[in-house]
Structure 1
């Protein structure tokens, strides 16, 4: 509530009055319907939701995996959690440099490939105990770092064709992303069994779903024009 009040008071609308576009509720509904009919947009949205699911699953299951199962102290847990966050943020910053040489679609494909491999190996490591806790830490770090590359690239690819309705496209994208992410986090709790497998298997499932959605998103789609929006082929 305080953030909302601060925004209303100290963050005025910067877009000039003559450039503002006002839509009726019916027009907004038509715009969202158009977006949901666009296969590439929906595939990118599902891919982004899967990436969020990986992070939400990790956040839900990490305390038990680290503290309860491997005896990490709360202080050490904070350090390890912070290192993983540092890796995710560092990867997103590295993405800016990579984009100078490589297209977003290529970066998305490579990042999803590494993400999928690390998530599957993490599930195998936790199920078998192979490599112990150090192997799990390394695989978690790799998996989470790749999400730092995936968030910006998948988002950019989803929104790029919809410049004239970027606000609606972004709002729907965020809704799908956090709905799927929260659902994945809830699944970790629902299937809790005293091991790290619910977290690892949920992360692996999200990685598989995200990779498949990314492949679908890269397939060409006929040019569509509706509601003032543009969809690339």
Structure 2
């Protein structure tokens, strides 16, 4: 580890956390505004949900672009370009008057934010072994986890006192502050490789080298499929909590914050468990827990016992499991790569977000005025992830440092 990172470890981790969190924050902040935006644009809530789907697609696509750039030009330059794109897109969201334009601008906004997500993961990989990286990912998740706790409440407050356009003004200002912090306070962790080719054939070969690695693709898919439940929750929670259960925007913000705190608690407990157990062991146990909670959700639906308190508690425990899955599967997946850390991080994020986009789209398409679409996708993702994890355990060997 370089002396500059040691001397500024807390500042560096905070900036990396903010870079990682700006994407999730951009999702969570405007969730309470779905019905308001639908009314303003004279459209339906399921149409507004597509602004979330387009955001996931933008992050999935954009990370594939940033990966090679991070490996060739170093970490900071692509990060700054992405933040600039995000800033401009956020400002444009304020002035749009068409829902289709907003769907596209959210895609553009995502292209800007995903640079931070890829870059932060790559910078962690630059400095740490797999076990240490899992601990650092847990620290980053602390910052990321604060996002869904604060964001809906902030969004609800803005909607109470202003209108939804101020949400995007807030995001523009936030991105500007992160841009300044990244430019002046974040130490460069990798200067880049001038010989790294950006020719399409070379980029494809590098991605193939990553995706054909059994450890990478196995744990990438385990984590990504498990994450599908989280994205289904993000897509459906506004309707389920506000319209189905009748919560006000302020109550929704508080409920969302309570549920999100589960991931913060889990990621910090994860640092303790890593002292005695491997990332593979922890993530498999968390997979089993999440699948069990997913089944309980479906049972509650079938038996008509899905009251609001039951829903809140079950989702809390569901996300508690995810707080252990994400940092551990990410760390194991990225372990085999150092020189291709940017490309590996990009591919990891792309696959995760692509599956997330699919999950949110399915929730939108199956929308039927009930919690079934959201909870059904959450349960399916958890069970599929567990099945894959059990298969991988028998057939794929990992070498954790």
TM over 0.5: yes
Contact 2:215–2:396, Cα closer than 8 Å, also in 1: yes
What per-residue deviation string (whole Å, max 9, x for no partner) do you get for residues 52-96 of structure 1?
211110011112221222222221111010011111122111111
Give, in angstroms, the shift of residue 120 of structure 1: 1.3
Contact 2:241–2:252, Cα closer than 8 Å, also in 1: yes
Is 1:6 matched up with 2:179? yes
Aligned to 2:213: 38
Give the 5 Å matches for 1:1-233.
1=85, 2=87, 3=175, 6=179, 9-10=183-184, 14-15=188-189, 20=193, 22-24=195-197, 25=199, 26-130=201-305, 132-221=307-396, 232=399
Q: Which moved more, 1:20-29 or 1:151-160?
A: 20-29
CA distance in 2, matches of 1:193, 1:146: 27
Query: How many residues align structurally?
Result: 224
Do the aligned partners of residues 81 and 28 (structure 1) sit closer, same or farther apart at CA in structure 2, a change above 3 Å counting?
A: same
- The alignment partner of 2:340 has SS state of helix
CA distance in 1, matches of 2:347, 2:255: 33
CA distance in 2, matches of 1:206, 1:194: 21
CA distance in 1, matches of 2:367, 2:207: 36
Contact 2:259–2:312, Cα closer than 8 Å, also in 1: no
Q: Note the aligned Cα RMSD (angstroms).
A: 2.5
Give, in angstroms, the shift of residue 221 of structure 1: 4.2
What per-residue deviation string (whole Å, max 9, x for no partner) do you get for residues 138-174 of structure 1?
1111001111111100101111122342221111001
Do the aligned partners of residues 71 and 203 (structure 1) sit closer, same or farther apart at CA in structure 2, a change above 3 Å counting?
A: same
Aligned to 2:163: none
- The alignment partner of 2:221 has SS state of helix
Q: Larger helix proportion, structure 1 or 2?
A: 2
Specify every segment of 5 or more residues in structure 2 that has no aligned partner in the other structure, as ranges: 1-84, 88-174
Give, in angstroms, the shift of residue 176 of structure 1: 0.4
- The alignment partner of 1:129 has SS state of coil
Contact 2:286–2:325, Cα closer than 8 Å, also in 1: yes
Do the aligned partners of residues 221 and 70 (structure 1) sit closer, same or farther apart at CA in structure 2, a change above 3 Å counting?
A: closer
Return the structure number with greater relative CO, CA threshold 8 A, min gap 6.
1
Contact 1:221–1:232, Cα closer than 8 Å, also in 2: no
CA distance in 2, matches of 1:102, 1:16: 30
Instruction: Tell me the TM-score normalised to structure 2 length.
Output: 0.52
Instruction: Tell me the TM-score normalised to structure 1 length.
Output: 0.86
